[in-house]
């Protein structure tokens, strides 16, 4: 089970409504604001927002950083699901938003905020086995949005195989979708334009041809990146080779003997600050790699070719271009052709 897997809190909609902790849809004769209602397709379902959301809850760090970047912190009433500190540029706005939980909030905590929109980055959070499901929220009159990044994945499995290879277009789509739902389309386009400019610069900067491995967390049964999720976008954009690109799972668990046999040129290590599994930080990973008899003879370990990325940079998100820039800079620091 990958570190972001959350625990489901089963609550019947009827019980929630009777307890008074859930939002109740109120009829209104007031005309809808200009541009509303808005309806858009979201992973084979339709999301409809009747008016600009004023009480938004985000269940994952990735979706929180999208909302904060769009400038709607004053309309957020809760956030959860953190692997790392928020982006420095978003710190001031993030302090205005209540943290419901470091990892999984309870459904009660979410509904106590009386949300009028719930967003999430992962279907393991907003889906079967997660905090709640879009269908359960819809029965309570609460619209929800699951990142477009998850639409290329097997339904019901955040760690499962991608049915389609993720591309950066899905990252851009999430930003545009959320911007549309909250009425911040101009801000969304500005974010995408800036990301595209930086993407063009990093794509044109190097030669590639280097083999890499991405290790998210866990020293006993490590989670390594497969071909087709966020790290795959980084790998293809920079012209690198992921030594585990033969797996379509986002984060397959792979034994150390197999890792040593693949012997990549560079190890890209998750540098997580939360503490839910072993070897969360980059320093803990390096200590393990340099002391373990199976891994300490690997080329990258002998040459100390490590590049650290935050967990929020390894999960596909608004940070993905920044992750590419860090990897490219790390390769140059190691004297490799990039």
- Both 138 and 253 in one domain: the answer is no
Q: Is residue 25 part of a domain?
A: no
Q: Measure the CA–CA gap between 177 and 299, rounded to whole angstroms.
A: 43
Residues 275-291 have pLDDT tens digits of 889 999 999 999 999 99
Judge if 75 and 180 occupy the same domain. yes
pLDDT at res. 157: 63
The tokens for 304 are: 């100390």
* Same domain, residue pair 252 and 190: no
Span 205-261, pLDDT tens digits? 666 789 999 999 999 999 999 999 999 999 999 999 999 999 999 999 999 999 999
> What is the per-residue pLDDT for 158?
63
Pairing type for strands 211-215 and 144-146 reads unpaired
pLDDT digits (tens, 9 = 90+) for 13-58: 333 433 344 444 444 456 778 889 999 999 989 999 999 999 999 9
Q: What is the mean pLDDT of residues 103-114?
A: 97
Classify 79 in phi/psi space as left (phi over 0), alpha (psi -120 to 50) or beta. Answer: beta
| Residue 179 and residue 39 in one domain | yes
Same domain (yes/no): 173, 255: no
**Are residues 180 and 246 part of one domain?**
no
User: Which structure tokens are listed for 139?
Assistant: 């029965």
- The structural domain count of the chain equals 2
pLDDT at 27: 43
Q: 154 and 51 in one domain? A: yes
Cα separation, 185 vs 175, whole angstroms: 9
Residue 178 sits in the same domain as residue 318: no
255 and 315 in a common domain? yes
How do strand 45-49 and strand 38-42 relate by DSSP bridges?
antiparallel
Among candidate residues 155, 178, 198, the one where a domain is terminated: 198
The span from the CA of 108 to the CA of 16, in Å, is 8
Q: Domain boundary residue among 158, 175, 198?
A: 198
In a domain, 22, yes or no: no
CATH number of 132's domain: 3.40.50.1980
pLDDT score at 156: 62
Residue 321: give the domain boundaries: 206-333
Do the domain assignments include residue 338? no
Q: Per the domain annotation, does 221 fall within a domain?
A: yes
Question: Which of 198, 227, 262 lies at the terminal end of a domain, its last residue?
Answer: 198
Dist CA 38 CA 32 (whole Å): 10
The reply to whether 190 and 214 lie within a common domain is: no
pLDDT digits (tens, 9 = 90+) for 181-201: 999 999 999 999 999 999 999
Does one domain contain both 97 and 151?
yes
- For the chain, the C-alpha Rg in angstroms (whole number) is 20
Pair (141, 210) in one structural domain: no
Task: Tell me, yes or no, whether 28 lies in a domain.
Answer: no
User: What b/e string do you get for 255-276 counting C-beta neighbours within 10 Å, with b at 16 or more?
Assistant: ebeebbeeebbbbbbbbbebee
Query: Which residue from 57, 83, 231 is spatially nearest to 67, judged by alpha carbons?
Result: 57
- At CA 312, angle to CA 99 and CA 259, rounded to 5? 135
Q: For residue 21, is it within any domain?
A: no
Distance CA 113, CA 98 (A): 10
Which pLDDT tens digit goes with each residue over 112-123? 999 999 999 999
How far is residue 144's CA from residue 117's CA, in Å, rounded to a whole number? 5
Q: Which residue has the tokens 């998850």?
A: 150
Residue 175 has phi, psi (to 5 degrees) of -60, -45
Q: Domain for residue 100, yes or no? A: yes
**How far is it, in rounded angstroms, from Cα 286 to Cα 281?**
9
Token readout for 88 is 């420095």
Nearest CA to 148 among 35, 317, 312, 314? 317
Q: Alpha-carbon dihedral of residues 105, 108, 112, 113, nearest 10 degrees?
A: 30
State how beta strands 211-215 and 241-242 pair: parallel
Instruction: Answer yes or no: is 4 within a domain.
Output: no
The model's pLDDT over 301-336, given as tens digits with 9 standing for 90+, comes to: 999 999 999 999 999 999 999 999 999 999 999 999
């Amino acid at each position: 089970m990958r570190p972001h897997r959350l625990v489901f809190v089963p609550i019947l909609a009827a019980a929630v409504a009777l307890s008074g902790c859930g939002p109740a849809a109120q009829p209104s004769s007031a005309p809808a604001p200009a541009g509303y209602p808005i309806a858009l397709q979201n992973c084979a379902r339709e999301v409809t927002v009747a008016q600009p959301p004023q009480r938004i809850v985000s269940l994952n760090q990735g979706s929180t950083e999208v909302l904060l970047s769009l400038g709607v912190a004053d309309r957020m009433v809760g956030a959860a699901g953190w692997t790392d500190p928020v982006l420095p540029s978003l710190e001031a706005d993030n302090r205005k938003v209540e943290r419901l939980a470091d990892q999984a909030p309870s459904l009660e905590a979410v509904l106590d905020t009386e949300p009028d929109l719930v967003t999430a980055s992962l279907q393991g959070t907003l889906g079967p086995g997660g905090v709640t499901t879009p269908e359960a929220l819809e029965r309570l009159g609460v619209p929800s949005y699951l990142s477009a990044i998850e639409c290329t994945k097997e339904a019901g499995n955040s760690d499962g195989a991608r049915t389609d290879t993720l591309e950066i277009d899905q990252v851009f789509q999430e930003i545009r979708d959320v911007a549309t739902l909250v009425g911040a389309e101009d801000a969304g386009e500005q974010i995408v334009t800036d990301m595209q400019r930086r993407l063009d610069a990093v794509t044109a900067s190097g030669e590639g041809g280097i083999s890499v491995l991405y290790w998210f967390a866990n020293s006993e049964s490590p989670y390594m990146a497969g071909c087709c999720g966020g790290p795959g976008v980084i790998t293809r954009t920079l012209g690198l080779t992921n030594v585990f690109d033969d797996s379509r799972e986002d984060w397959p668990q792979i034994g150390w003997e197999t890792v040593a046999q693949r012997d990549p040129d560079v190890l890209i290590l998750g540098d997580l600050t939360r503490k839910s599994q072993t070897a969360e930080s980059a320093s803990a990973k390096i200590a393990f790699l340099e002391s373990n008899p199976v891994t300490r003879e690997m080329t990258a370990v002998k040459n100390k070719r490590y590049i650290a990325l935050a967990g929020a940079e390894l999960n596909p998100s608004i940070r993905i271009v920044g992750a590419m820039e860090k990897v490219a800079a790390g390769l140059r620091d190691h004297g490799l052709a990039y």
